[in-house]
Amino acid sequence: MMTPPSRRSLIIGGLGLAGSAALSACSTPSSAHGPGRSLAPPVPVTPTPGQRVVEHVLNPRPVVLDLGGPKVSTWAYDDSRTGPVIRAGAGDLLRVRLDNGLPESTTVHWHGIALRHQADGVPGVTQEPIASGGSYTYEFTVPDAGTYFYHPHVGLQLDRGLHAPLVIDDPREPGDYDAEWIVVLDDWVDGTGRTPDDVLGELRSSSHGAMGGMDHGSMGHGTSGAAADLSAGDTGDVTYPHYLVNGRVPSAPDVFSGKPGQRVRMRIINAAADTIFTVALGGHELTLTHTDGYAVEPARARALVLGMGERFDAVVALGDGVFPLVAVPAGREGQAMALVRTGAGTAPGPDVRPSELDGSPVLGTDLRPAPSSRLADRPVDAAVALTLDGGMGDYAWGINGAPFGDNEPIAVNAGQRVRLDVVNRTMMSHPLHVHGHTFALSRTGLRKDTVLVRPMQSVPIELEADNPGEWMIHCHNIYHAEAGMMIGLEYRS
Ligand code: C2O
Ligand code: CU
């Protein structure tokens, strides 16, 4: 803590593009980001008068995590259950120094925060990757309250233990609740005999091997046993041995304690790399209050679907007893589970399926925005097509007809209201995430930064082009992003 950050060079020659495209078998770097361009270190930020500064040090490193029985060698920011929670208030300046103890380079992306471009954590685009042994300081003002998380933007590092919650409080929001719980959902493979990189290798080699060509409309693999009301297309690509709530397997669950009658705000984060979850709390109904940081018209839900990268805040009035908080992976066996304990009772077993999971769960796209969350009413200046392409056939995924690196960045003018006509031309669901901006669903005005787009669905979204820089738009299935389902968003100068 006391030693100053190492000043060793942050420049890595020849790496070129973001890890994603560099590893992608069928993409070539676009000239704009080709090898040779190196990015300046970040300009230090001076807090504005009266601005609070919140400081943290992160030290990602190899660790052994105890998942509640299974012990896994992995990489993480620490060995706690959720990773180090970073908490600040809206308007604060966050200053986070990262000392890279990993054997490879890394970055941090502050998922969902509309921040200054230089702090966005995309290697080769907003910063040079932070080399093993190197340090880097992220400094940015956090504009909006809400539930966020942070993770690397290099390769498949997110599918190790490298993610943790980021909670921004609103000093003006009273908060009608007595307690708060953070609920992190995850799928887990690292250290069980395979790393995420091994898994991607398997996915690629078990594909048909054909290069190029987006096979629109190809079917994903097995869709049997789909959870709740989810139909074909939600099964992920990876077979995970474990599903976790706050880093624990269901046979040794994390326990949330409370008192009967208490109102609890749950901040639910889907930090999984490849798993859509349906969440329910046995014996309770949830009142959804926010998604991706934005207030919604309060909506009651017996069960809720979260795509990767999505967050929901829910308030629940606690009953008396012991209750299972279950997250069922779409289209797969097994589940994640935690316990809520407010009184006496026998804990349910790891396979318990609360009846709240029967029937149709609520999807993010079912919600309506609170008036305060709406974008200002104004006409669209420019509309841009954004198609999600690809399939399991050759494990080639792309946007606008080509994998990242081969596709043309989306170009906008500062000050425009831009509509992205998102169309999913595949048979899988994809959680689409936009960096540096939040967006409103054109149909309802719901504000999000990550939206789950179902197979063959079209979901037009609108954003204000008010944060110049080079940004990423991608599927938050990290295997899809890595295989090319990503595109740049650039401002014309
Ligand atoms: Cu959490 Cu580029 O994403
Ligand atoms: Cu995807």
Ligand number nearest CA of 388 is: 2
Do residues 279 and 326 touch, judged by C-beta distance below 8 A?
yes
C-alpha 202 to ligand 2 mean position (Å): 17
What's the pLDDT at 37?
Answer: 63
- Tell me, using a 6 A CB cutoff, whether residue 163 lines ligand 1: no
- Tell me, using a 6 A CB cutoff, whether residue 248 lines ligand 1: no
- Tell me, using a 6 A CB cutoff, whether residue 474 lines ligand 1: yes
**Average pLDDT for consecutive 10-residue bins of the chain (493 residues)?**
28 29 36 58 92 98 97 97 96 98 98 96 96 97 96 98 97 83 98 95 73 41 36 74 98 98 98 98 98 97 98 98 97 96 96 96 97 96 97 86 96 98 96 98 98 97 97 97 97 90
What's the pLDDT at 392?
Answer: 73
Ligand number nearest CA of 427 is: 2
For ligand 1, what atom is nearest to the CA of residue 149? 1
Tell me the Ramachandran region of residue 228: left when phi exceeds 0, alpha when psi lies from -120 to 50, beta otherwise.
left
What's the pLDDT at 393?
Answer: 73
User: In angstroms, what CA-CA distances link 297 with 139, 174, 380?
Assistant: 33, 17, 25
Which residue has its alpha carbon closest to ligand 1 atom 1? 111
Tokens of 357: 């999971």
What's the pLDDT at 232?
Answer: 54
C-alpha 482 to ligand 2 mean position (Å): 10
- Residue 182 φ/ψ, nearest 5 degrees: -105, 130
Burial of 451 (0-12, 13-18, 19+ CB in 10 A): buried
3-state secondary structure of 405: coil
What's the pLDDT at 224?
Answer: 32
- Tell me, using a 6 A CB cutoff, whether residue 116 lines ligand 1: no
C-alpha 292 to ligand 1 mean position (Å): 13
C-alpha 224 to ligand 2 mean position (Å): 19
User: In angstroms, what CA-CA distances link 247 with 64, 126, 169, 255, 326?
Assistant: 12, 31, 24, 12, 14
Q: Where are the beta strands (DSSP E) in 365-425?
A: 382-391, 396-399, 410-412, 417-424
- Tell me, using a 6 A CB cutoff, whether residue 435 lines ligand 1: yes
C-alpha 411 to ligand 1 mean position (Å): 20
- Tell me, using a 6 A CB cutoff, whether residue 290 lines ligand 1: no
pTM of the complete model: 0.89
- The one-letter amino acid at 189: V
Alpha-carbon distance 328 to 278, whole Å? Answer: 5
- Tell me, using a 6 A CB cutoff, whether residue 436 lines ligand 1: no
Q: Sign of torsion, CA 444 447 452 457?
A: positive
For ligand 1, what atom is nearest to the CA of residue 151? 1
Ligand number nearest CA of 162 is: 1
Do residues 461 and 439 touch, judged by C-beta distance below 8 A?
yes
Alpha-carbon distance 284 to 319, whole Å? Answer: 7
3-state secondary structure of 390: strand
C-alpha 434 to ligand 1 mean position (Å): 8
For ligand 1, what atom is nearest to the CA of residue 435? 2
- Tell me, using a 6 A CB cutoff, whether residue 311 lines ligand 1: no
User: In angstroms, what CA-CA distances link 473 with 72, 434, 484?
Assistant: 32, 4, 11
Give Cβ neighbours of residue 174 (< 8 Å, ≥ 6 apart): none
3-state secondary structure of 199: helix
For ligand 1, what atom is nearest to the CA of residue 472? 2
